[in-house]
Structure 1
Amino acid sequence: MRFQKSKRLIAFLMVFAICLCSFSGTTAFAATEISSLVLNKNEVSLEVGETFLLTATAIYTNGSTENVTVKTDWNSGAPNTASVYAGSITAKQEGTAVITATYMEKMVVVNVKVSKRVRSLIKDVQTIDLRKGASQQIGLTAYYDDGTNEGVTTKAEWNIDNGSVATVVNGLVTGQSSGTATVTAKYNNQTVSIPVNIEIVKRVDPNLSEVSLLLKDDVTIKLTATYPDGSTKDVTELADWDSENPDVADVIKGKITGYGPGQTKIIATYGTKSTAIKVDVDNAVKLGLDKQTVMMKKNASEQLTLTATYPDGSTDNITARAEWTSSNEDVLSVVKGKLFASAAGEATVTASYGGKSVTAVIDVDVPRRLLASQDSLYVQSGQDQQLTLTAVYADNSTSDVTTDAKWSSDNEDVATVSKGNVVPRKAGEATIKAVYGDKSVTIKVSVDIPNILVPNKKTVSFQMGSYEQMVLKALYTDGREVDVTSKAEWTSSAPAVAEVRNGLITGVGTGVATVTAKFGTRTTVVQVSVGVLKSLTTTSDTQFSMAKGSSKTIDLTATYTDGTVNQVASEATWTSSNASAVSVDAGVVKAIASGDAVITASFETKTITLNISVDMADSLTASPAFLSFDLGESRAITLTAKNKSGEEKNVTNDAEWASSNVQIVQVSAGVVTPVSRGKATVTAKYGGKSVSVSVEIGVAQSLDTDKKFLSVKRGQSTSIALTATQSDGSKKVVSADAQWKSSNYKVADVSGGVVTAVGSGKATITGTFGGKSITVPVEVDTLKYLKTDIILISIKQGASVEAKATATYSDLSEEDVTIPAMWSSSSIRVADVKDGVIKAISKGKATVTVNYGDKRTYIYVTVD
């Protein structure tokens, strides 16, 4: 048992060892056994200066691969033509070279062709325009970087993008069919392209743009192509022809044949151009009927003729070929132009042919209008009246249709009618109607009806208890005049005012009434006034002015409709709209206090009014109308009032005065006193009127200064005079009163208009007064020039030179600024400087800069 286990263990170890050796041996073998060496390219073409990277791949016997480019041994047979390093080929000069790649005893060669670098590729043709079958040669010239050139037409690679239009062989282009294409030539790294047009015409034109044909007729169109060079060619048989509607007309190689009536277009296409020919087949210019209107009797027939007129002026009877329709088959039918009348009425016949149509109006027993023998009848009961009816037709012919018409009455209690015979029945009105065909006419009938009723008076006026007898007459159309006073029906609109019996009107109460008389269907009215006041008047003015404490008596007259006149001032009712100002009693008006009042006098149904003013102003005027002054002053306003009578009065002391802002101005009895600067409005009221005066205290319309610009030196002071122009045009110096400020107090200070220069620089001085401001620019220590007495100096090492700096100001004054100026050297190792003293340190050159104010200057120093 132990022996068997030992055998199994030994066997396992042997298998493991064999597998391990086999694995190790395979790996080692694969690393050393190569099947082949493969390069990514075997031939390379380069231009001088170009590079190309070759890659080497090792394929081992076990099928695995490895990129061994860097492990491979690379060698060039002509390194002056093409060198190689780690697979990277560099083209150096024109020629050929053989590159050898060796790895694990496997060798592969690559042929390299190096050509000169092409700087540009020039074509001798920019575009090609050819007819079909024609050819044209393109020449190519290559220009190299070394300045040489050569023709490379046959060496280049030629292509065309549309071989159906043209072909190209070594630059020779041959046209195949109409169209456009692009030829491409490639040589080395350069490419050029040439557009090609084959059989491209500028336009195509038919000899006819419009054609009119009869059915089965034909015409041949000639199509001419015009080329860009101006030449032409008959391309009728070469073109493509098509019809938009072959059922109307079709085309074969320019020959157009008409097949059906109508319109279509023929399209001719040659190359990229097309044109259209409009075709009318059997299409007449117009259609015409021999009759536009036809009058027919029922059951009759009549023939219409339809004629077509063609573009050449010829005509043709197409009655049988046209399509005929009737708008009303119950009245009229039509077959190939023949009309058949079936019933009375109207119809429209339409004839259509070749896309056109024409119509005729047919009347069958239809009159255009009816005429009655009378438009209106005035008859007495028991007297018949015969009417006749005439029909008028479209041709102005007439016929008596009295017995054929249909007659009717809208009120048969008044009158009846039969075949035009009118029979009156009783007093009243009726309308007779006659109908024939689709026309009708009406006649108004009046039975025992007068034209008008006429009373002997249209208006009656009297006092209560009086009376008036009226007479009423009826006027007829035949001229008769009949007294119908007792036969008429009389009524009153107000029996409590006026009663009426058989035309006798009696006044029973005060007021107005309307009395109406009616006879038959006619009525008339009489206007009645009983004790009615017609007007209430006064001889006094209805508008006047009174002084306080005065009085005036107003008269009042009442006039009645019957002419009676009475003085009624004491009987009237008087009222005042403002009793505190004006009182009134029995017409006596008294002025009590200032104010307006309306006095009203009422008597019976009338009133009268009077407008009265007591110490009231019609207008109020202030003088002056505007005030403008400053503190410390005062102004007076005069107030004048004018009443309605035009009288003027000074009411300054009597008016009520007020200020819109007492913190700016105060006012008393017209005297305006200023409190502070600003604007306010003073208002005066008197007699129901008011007036306002605008007041401005210390308000400037504009400001001005005596100096527009200041240029001063530090420590100096200058005064600015500020003048304010007020609204009334007056001027005042306000320098001391204005507010002043400086934009930069480190440069310039200001107080009361006095400007003091503090330090060099620029500032703006602003003066403000009365709501306005003005500015003055200030410059302190403003230099115009800065110069030195020395510009170029040459000194020995260790020596010193003293320079002087002078500042020239805007006012052209000069100042020695050697000490206050800033001195600096561009190289203190060569030359140092302090307060204008330049000291040479070592040999060399330096630039000394002088700064003062906003200016600078230079001294150029050379140390020997």
Structure 2
Amino acid sequence: MRTNKHAASKRYGTWLSVMLAIVLSFSSFAGLAYAEEVVTGITFDNAPSPAVLYVDDDTISLQVNASIPGATSVKDVTNDAVWSSSNTAVAKASAGVLVGLTSGTAIVSASYKGFKITLPVSVHYLYDSVKLTENGNLAATAADVHLGDTIAYELMAAKSGKADENVTDSALWTSSSTSVATVDAGEIKLLAAGETTITAKYKGRSDSIKLSVTSPYKSLSISPEELLEFNVGDSAAALSASAADEDDTLSDVTDLAEWTTGNSAVVTVSKGVVTPVGSGTTTISVSCLGVKSRIDVVVRPAFEAMRITPKEDQHVTLQDEPIQFSVVVRKGDEAPETVTSKATWTSSNFYAATVSKDGVVMPKGVGTTFIKASYLGVSQQVSVTVYPTVGSLKAAKASVDAFLDEAIALPKVTAESIAEETIDVSSLVSWTSSNKDIVDKVDGTWTAKKLGTAVLTGTVQSKSVSVTVEVHERPILLTPDQANASVIIGKEIKLPVITVMYESGEEENVTDKVTWKSSSANLLVKTPNMRGLQASNVTLTATYLGKSTTVRVAIEEEIKKLFVETETLTLNPSRTKSLKVTGIYKSGKSVSLTTKMNWEVNPETLASIKNGSIKALKEGSGKLTGTYQGKSVEVALTVVAKVKKLSASTKSVTLAAEGKETVNVTAEYEGGRVTDVTKTAAWTVGNRKVATVQNGIVTAAAKGSTIIKAVLDGKSVSIRVVVK
């Protein structure tokens, strides 16, 4: 044990020695990398003495050098030093650059590595003052001027003992409101009425003048001043502008004024000359030295309407002949004028087709273009689509269903081009009908005219395709003969019978025409039967001519017995009652079939039933028959109106000893029917020792008084009986 401890101690000592050596090595490197720089002092390099600055004039650049022991030269630390000024309003210092701000003195200092050096600085203005002059005379502090005036100022700089110096071009000129006036080297440009202050600044000195700008005129008028009216193609019209001064003296300013149009696509204007361009409305505005005016302009088409022929969108192939378009224009009752060669023809996509000045359209490439004809303000356009050469045609459907007196939705037709590309050529197809009495084109639309079948043949470039059209009456309702069906697992049964009702009221069994769809693969549908594969609930949908109906199908075990909760039922009209039906499977398990039964009511006017809930409709009697998996139950149904009120033939009866008297009772039912119910009502007597009652016959028993009562359907009436 001692030997092991000694060996471990020896290993630990060796490891510690190695780690200390490594730490010392890294410590040496760290000392070399991060040794603190030693500075013994800082000085300015060639600082001016004295240091003098002038406001808004040249700056002074200072350099700070630091002395470092062992170095052969000083280090420039100008940018690293911290600069400050004792009076920042007079002078500022940053990175060695001194700038004078206003007259005065300041001490500028630079600090670096604990050392600080300073430099006194004095700041002066280069000039005693600057003054604005106009035409050699000192300018006023404010002036009233008119738009259109020519104004120019000079800036003169003064210094004691020297001649004044013109510093106009060197000064900084500003306008407090450039929307009123602008200034450039003393030249003033007046723009609008208002006020502005013109300021000239040079070497820290400035002078300014406030200008109040007004118009030399009080109004501007256009002649003629009424609405200016043109038709497209009319000659230009000349307007004139007159300006009135304060004395109402008019001056012609047509050429001097600035004329503008609100819409250059309607009219253009130059020095009052207005030229119509296109139909529309706009305004002509004129302004001159602060006064403005405007006039409304309307340019109408020279004609009321244009008609282009053909007017339908065109669909052609690269192999087709050119299309000749023509246009006529009309105005009121005037005779139509053919202007095909006078119109301007354009193609929006001349890659697809070009158009000549005479309206001839040449197909050039695959694509669509708009061919437009314009003439004196009226225009019309037609779309032209160019297709490639086709090799074969194919219709999306071989047959379509249509409805009487309605447009037919023709199937999409595609073609394979010679480049073996599939393209939609539906708009290119030319159709013909095998029987125009059944299907024909009416006002450009293929229409179903008569019940029956016709074949439409579509043609493109000698290629053809056929579509069979069957014309039907429009259906309004599909009805199954049962809302619920039960399929025994592994067995087939007939599909439900589906009846369609048409708008005419006619009905037809379309079971073999409908399209069937099962919501689950557990129900296999193979017309005319369906087969259950696995226990589940499935929705079976039948669709015909756009109408659909559903049947709920239960795939289950075979039912051996059916039980109904009640075999007789009495209801009042409009009252409802749920019929509870229970089925017993072959395995002995029970199941509620209340909502799954298929019920029939006989007579149908007696009641209605849905999902096991029966609603009484009118008085009478009959029976309900419910079936499920071929088994059935019956319920006898009686519908009687509910009693609203019972009335007795008398309110009181007085009898002698052993006397008798008959009291009749009538019932008023909902719906207003009144019936004698004397014998059907239930009679009671309060004191049998005084009298007895049976079927309304009251018999005296002993002296006294009592109350007899007739009760029916929850209603009652009382009669007082007195025996003397």
TM score, norm. by length of structure 1: 0.26
* Structure possessing the higher relative contact order (Cα contacts under 8 Å, 6 or more residues apart): 2
Give the structure with higher Rg (CA).
1
Report the TM-score, using the length of structure 2 for normalisation: 0.30
